[in-house]
Protein backbone atom coordinates (compact mmCIF):
# COMPACT_ATOMS: atom_id res chain seq x y z
CA UNK A 1 0.00 0.00 0.00
CA UNK A 2 2.75 2.59 0.69
CA UNK A 3 3.86 2.30 -2.96
CA UNK A 4 0.37 3.23 -4.16
CA UNK A 5 0.20 6.12 -1.72
CA UNK A 6 3.61 7.30 -2.89
CA UNK A 7 2.38 7.35 -6.49
CA UNK A 8 -0.73 9.26 -5.44
CA UNK A 9 1.44 11.74 -3.53
CA UNK A 10 3.10 12.75 -6.81
CA UNK A 11 -0.20 14.39 -7.81
CA UNK A 12 -2.03 15.15 -4.56
CA UNK A 13 -1.66 15.95 -0.89
CA UNK A 14 -2.29 12.87 1.25
CA UNK A 15 -4.11 13.35 4.54
CA UNK A 16 -5.85 11.11 7.02
CA UNK A 17 -8.75 11.78 9.36
CA UNK A 18 -8.63 10.11 12.77
CA UNK A 19 -10.58 10.22 15.97
CA UNK A 20 -7.56 8.86 17.80
CA UNK A 21 -4.48 10.36 19.32
CA UNK A 22 -2.50 12.43 16.81
CA UNK A 23 0.92 11.52 18.24
CA UNK A 24 -0.01 7.83 18.02
CA UNK A 25 -0.99 8.28 14.36
CA UNK A 26 2.35 9.98 13.68
CA UNK A 27 4.12 6.98 15.23
CA UNK A 28 2.02 4.58 13.13
CA UNK A 29 2.79 6.53 9.96
CA UNK A 30 6.51 6.55 10.66
CA UNK A 31 6.64 2.86 11.57
CA UNK A 32 4.58 1.79 8.53
CA UNK A 33 6.37 4.34 6.27
CA UNK A 34 3.06 5.91 5.25
CA UNK A 35 3.65 9.08 3.22
CA UNK A 36 0.97 11.25 4.84
CA UNK A 37 1.36 15.00 4.45
CA UNK A 38 -1.01 15.82 7.31
CA UNK A 39 -3.29 14.33 9.93
CA UNK A 40 -6.73 15.75 10.73
CA UNK A 41 -8.15 15.09 14.19
CA UNK A 42 -10.93 16.62 16.26
CA UNK A 43 -9.69 19.21 18.67
CA UNK A 44 -10.48 18.44 22.28
CA UNK A 45 -10.97 22.13 23.02
CA UNK A 46 -13.67 22.74 20.42
CA UNK A 47 -15.92 20.33 18.57
CA UNK A 48 -16.13 22.51 15.45
CA UNK A 49 -12.41 23.05 14.91
CA UNK A 50 -9.84 20.71 13.40
CA UNK A 51 -6.29 20.24 14.58
CA UNK A 52 -3.64 19.87 11.88
CA UNK A 53 -0.35 18.21 12.57
CA UNK A 54 2.24 17.98 9.84
CA UNK A 55 4.56 15.01 9.68
The predicted pLDDT at position 43 comes to: 57
Domain extent listing, the chain: 2-54
Question: pLDDT for 6-38, tens place per residue?
Answer: 898 899 999 888 887 888 888 988 998 888 888
Q: Model's pTM, two decimal places?
A: 0.60
The predicted pLDDT at position 48 comes to: 46
**What confidence tier does 1 reach under pLDDT thresholds 50, 70, 90?**
low
The predicted pLDDT at position 11 comes to: 92
Rounded-to-integer distance, Cα 54 and Cα 3, Å: 20
One DSSP character per residue, 23-49 reads HHHHHHHHHHT---SEEEEE-SS-TT-
The predicted pLDDT at position 17 comes to: 85
Amino acid sequence: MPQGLQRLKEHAIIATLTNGNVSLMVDVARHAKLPWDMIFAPSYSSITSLTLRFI
